[in-house]
Amino acid sequence: MPSPTLDGSFPFNFERNFHFQDGGELLMPAWATALIKLGWWCRCRHVRGKRILAIALLPGRAMASSLVGFGAVLGGAQQSKPGLTWDRLRTLPAGTELFWRWTADSKPARGVIQVPDEGIGHLVRVLLTAGSRKNMMWSFSEETFHTGTFSEEKLPSGNRLNADAEAKMLLEEIGVVADSRWFSSGSPEAALVTSCAEFSRSLADVRVVSGAKSAMFSSLLFASIFRAGCSSKLQVVPVNSNSERDTPLRILDGAHAFRRLRDSGGADSNVIILLDRGEVGPELSDDLLRITGALGSLTEELQLEVSDLAQRLDVSIQVAEVDE
Amino acid sequence: MASFLEIDRRYSNASALCLNEYRISSHAVATVVEITRELLRQLDRQDSSQRELASMVWRLRSSIFFTLLPFSADALGIAELARSISSAVSRLPFVQSLCHRFGPAITALLDEGSNPKWIAIEALVGSSPEDHRHGIFTAMAFGRSFGRPPSGNAGKSANAIWVESSSAMRTISIDRLTVIGMCRYLSRQAYADIFHSGCAADITILLYPGETFEWKVPPTLCRNRSSGAPYNREPAIRAIETTARSEVKVDERDDVDVWREAHSGNRSPALGLTKSRFVLFKDGRGLFVPEDSAVLLLVDRAVDARSDLVESPARDAREGDAMVVRAEAGGYLVGLGDQEEEFDREVESASDWRPALEAMLMRTEVADIATEMRRFGAKNVSLAGSIRHWADGSTYGPGTLGEFRALITVLERAGTLRLQESADLYIADRWQRLSALRAGRQRLGQSIRHHVLNELRAHFAKFGRTDEISVIPTEYGQEFHVCFIAAVDDSPSWVPNARLMTLQSILR
């Protein structure tokens, strides 16, 4: 079982047993593993006081963002902590919506957090907004909290959970054992700024096979674009949108997305920029030079962790001070 | 959409690229090339009529280099173009000797039966294995092709895939590629789409005497190319001669700045001129887009429910993208924007109480503000959540006048909101404006962009991609035009404001 702490070595062995099925069957190629590792590493590796900025220049960007996103999701799964902890729940202000379910089969419930009752502040008080006890107040304790799955976001329905089952089995096959609640709660591991149309089209027919398990590659991404309203691990954001959430990793896919570098997103998120060679004209090249010129290098130790990537991809990985 | 297998092949192709310079001899072509090259060298580009002559000569040369039709074909218009050139040259005393040689050289060219490059293509496609898909790229200048015989005539043409769009090279699936001439007039992006995207591992470039091929190294992030991504390896380049090597060398001064000749913008800054980028559309017209402005682009080749418009500087637009511009008498306007900007400005000014709320939130709990508001008549049960939305701007503000009044009262009493006028007047005015904004937003539908997108999708569903500029009307009395891009000038030009965003035909 892969170690939950990052020791720099990529724990997934794709090259032995992970096939893509799309136009034929293909064992995971080296460039794809490198992209996955790039996403995984940038999701998991954090340098105190700095953020990592990686740029990859490719012959073409097709599928690249999905693979990088997949890596980020794997990284998040490895590090999975339950999305909403009791402590965090206690800090949520009155008026926040809350969603929960007790078992995979039970109906999801929802309510609005209320100001706790005087004297029993150790219980969380909620006004139920759905179900047979709608409009009634309900208070619960920490013990009760731990017996269910709670989230600030809508939880996937039963059907969705079954569709996820295939994905979960395949992930287990490659050694990803995530906290079971990671699948249905919490916030995205990464935000991906891209053309949503191309993203979904590129994944339409891609299946993956590992051992006896198989699943649609798109299901392994837990991407928001395929899971309307449910918690997702990869938030797919159109280039024009302002709805990018604060995530540990931002993936900017293409020159148009690259222009969003300075906008929104988390102030200290790591960033991966994907570009294809046709997009890099003199002006963009200048922009890149200006950006990379102002960045610092990785420590030798960190460089060693990603040295193999430089042999498969045209990539630059540096660090920036987090102050703006 | 390319399959995963095809995408993998692109990485392999880019890592093992083999370029073949296929030199075709033709005495007739060599003679015309030599004479016209000499002519170009002698012309003074500062003189406007000589510059026009240089343009015509360029057009003649490129028609010869890049056509696959017999040179005498009417559609090419070589004879007519040659006559115009002859007549212009005859008026220039310093090139009389060339004048005498020009006529016979053209006659000899027109007497050539078949097109030598066409013969070469038949040979290349014919010698490809049966199941090989052989791509042939023909759009060699300004995104334009220069004519070819109808399909079905290139040997085993079932396998020949004719490509006129450089952006298609990014997704096409072929085994080998033939580019029918020198690449000097391809835009940087077109060149990259063909040679740097891994579309084929084997690319043949057909070259007459006078044409040369130049390998442009792809951009890279690494200083050290040799150890690094396999797809950055240098390609293998070999030469295939069909007969003895030609004597004609290409002179640097052959090089007309073809874009500049076409649109006549200035290549350097000057007072009163605005920096801009020339964009050429598929119907042969183009316009100068201010370099700092963002235009709206539809970049998805297949338009579906998820396709969106992207705001981007014109220089990042690529062949095949569609530019969406607002039409106005006298020209186009950049961006969707003015109407939306005005709307946004009005929202800000009608919400000038928002900073006061934010200030109050810094020192008071939301729950307490909510409690206070209830004291002054607010009735909403989940007030606390709403207050946060009002503060961060994700909603316009309180949903009822009573709530709004309560909020303003609380803010004023807390001292964070100081009013110049009576509270009643302020509340009435802001409430009326907020209501108008809400109604306006609904009336605008979800904004102009959304409307234009819907119309675009409907348009595509009906007509697909066309070369003509399509018109999309909106209910606000505006028209949007959708223009498909053929090529974008690699370098900026400086032009007077009056020429910006105005369609012009280019000298072709």
Work out the minimum CA distance from A174 to partner chain B, whole angstroms. Answer: 20
Cα separation of B85 and B6, whole Å? 48
Residue A198 pLDDT greater than 50, yes or no: yes
Label the pairing between strands A149-151 and A190-193: unpaired
Work out the minimum CA distance from B12 to partner chain A, whole angstroms. Answer: 10
pLDDT value of position A275: 97
B374 touches B333 (CB < 8 A): no
What is the Cβ-side half-sphere exposure of residue A275, based on CA atoms within 13 angstroms?
A: 27
Chain A residues within 8 A of B490 when measuring between CB atoms: 281-282
Q: Which of A220-229, A258-267, B27-36, B190-199 has the lowest mean pLDDT?
A: A258-267
B259 confidence band (pLDDT: 50, 70, 90): confident
CB–CB of B221 and A288 under 8 A?
Answer: yes
Cβ burial of B26 (10 Å; 0-12, 13-18, 19+) is buried
B7 closest CB neighbour out of A62, A259, A280: A62
- Percent of chain B exceeding pLDDT 90 equals 41
B62 confidence band (pLDDT: 50, 70, 90): very high
pLDDT in tens, B380-436: 777 888 888 888 777 788 888 889 999 999 999 988 888 888 889 999 989 988 887
Chain B residues within 8 A of A28 when measuring between CB atoms: none
CB–CB of A26 and B7 under 8 A?
Answer: no
Q: Is the dihedral of CA A205, A209, A215, A221 positive or negative?
A: negative
Element (H, E) at B66: helix B48-66
B299 closest CB neighbour out of A24, A195, A285: A195
Average pLDDT of chain B, as a whole number: 85
Give contacts of A 38-67 with B, CB under 8 A: 55, 57-60, 62-63
Chain B residues within 8 A of A310 when measuring between CB atoms: 222, 228-229
pLDDT in tens, A228-287: 656 788 999 888 877 777 889 999 999 999 988 877 556 788 999 999 999 999 999 999
Chain A residues within 8 A of B192 when measuring between CB atoms: 277-278
CB–CB of B196 and A59 under 8 A?
Answer: yes
pLDDT value of position A192: 95
Q: Which of A105-114, A192-201, A281-290, A306-315 has the lowest mean pLDDT?
A: A105-114
Chain B residues within 8 A of A292 when measuring between CB atoms: 221
- Searching chain B, which residue's CA lies closest to the CA of residue A28? B8
Cα separation of B344 and B338, whole Å? 10
Q: How far, CA to CA in Å, does B101 sit from each of A206, B39, B92, B93?
A: 63, 11, 15, 14
Work out the minimum CA distance from A238 to partner chain B, whole angstroms. Answer: 8
Neighbour count for residue B394 (Cβ, 10 Å): 10
Tokens of B286: 């183009």
CB-based contact (8 Å) between A135 and chain B?
A: no
- Searching chain B, which residue's CA lies closest to the CA of residue A33? B8
Q: Name residues whose C-beta falls within 8 Å of residue B403's C-beta, 6 or more positions apart in sequence.
A: B373, B378, B379, B380, B383
Render B119-184 in DSSP notation, one character per residue: HHHHHHHHHS-TT--EEEE---BTTB----PPTT-SSSGGGEEEE--GGGGGT---SEEEE-S--T
Residue A154 pLDDT greater than 80, yes or no: no
Q: Is the dihedral of CA A171, A26, A224, A105 positive or negative?
A: negative
3-state secondary structure of B370: helix
Phi, psi of A57 (to 5 degrees): -110, 120
Cβ burial of B259 (10 Å; 0-12, 13-18, 19+) is buried
CB–CB of B312 and A204 under 8 A?
Answer: no
pLDDT in tens, B326-367: 887 767 777 655 556 666 777 778 888 988 898 888 888 888
CB-based contact (8 Å) between A94 and chain B?
A: yes
Residue with tokens 């038949």: B122
Average pLDDT of chain A, as a whole number: 84
Work out the minimum CA distance from A193 to partner chain B, whole angstroms. Answer: 12
CB-based contact (8 Å) between A261 and chain B?
A: no
How large is the average pLDDT for residues B6-21?
A: 96
- Percent of chain B exceeding pLDDT 70 equals 89
Task: List the alpha helices (DSSP H) in B202-305.
Answer: 258-263
Identify the residue among A57, A284, A292 best suited for mutation to test binding to B, counting B beta carbons within 10 A and taking the highest: A57
B300 confidence band (pLDDT: 50, 70, 90): confident
A194 touches A234 (CB < 8 A): no
Tokens of B288: 């100068």
| Virtual torsion, Cα B442, B446, B452, B458, nearest 10 deg | -90
pLDDT value of position A3: 34
**Of the candidates A236, A300, A279, the residue with the CA atom closest to the CA atom of residue A70:** A236
Work out the minimum CA distance from A180 to partner chain B, whole angstroms. Answer: 30
Residue A2 pLDDT greater than 50, yes or no: no
The distance between the two most distant Cα atoms of chain A, rounded to a whole number of Å, is 67
B258 confidence band (pLDDT: 50, 70, 90): confident
Identify the residue among A14, A21, A22, A194 best suited for mutation to test binding to B, counting B beta carbons within 10 A and taking the highest: A22
CB–CB of A284 and B316 under 8 A?
Answer: yes
Task: Tell which wins on pLDDT, A263 or B87.
Answer: B87
CB-based contact (8 Å) between A116 and chain B?
A: no
A12 touches A175 (CB < 8 A): yes
CB–CB of B220 and A281 under 8 A?
Answer: no
pLDDT value of position A324: 47
CB–CB of B218 and A277 under 8 A?
Answer: yes
B395 touches B389 (CB < 8 A): yes
Chain A residues within 8 A of B318 when measuring between CB atoms: 278
Chain A residues within 8 A of B384 when measuring between CB atoms: 93-95
CB–CB of A57 and B303 under 8 A?
Answer: no
A280 closest CB neighbour out of B197, B219, B366: B219
CB–CB of B4 and A23 under 8 A?
Answer: yes
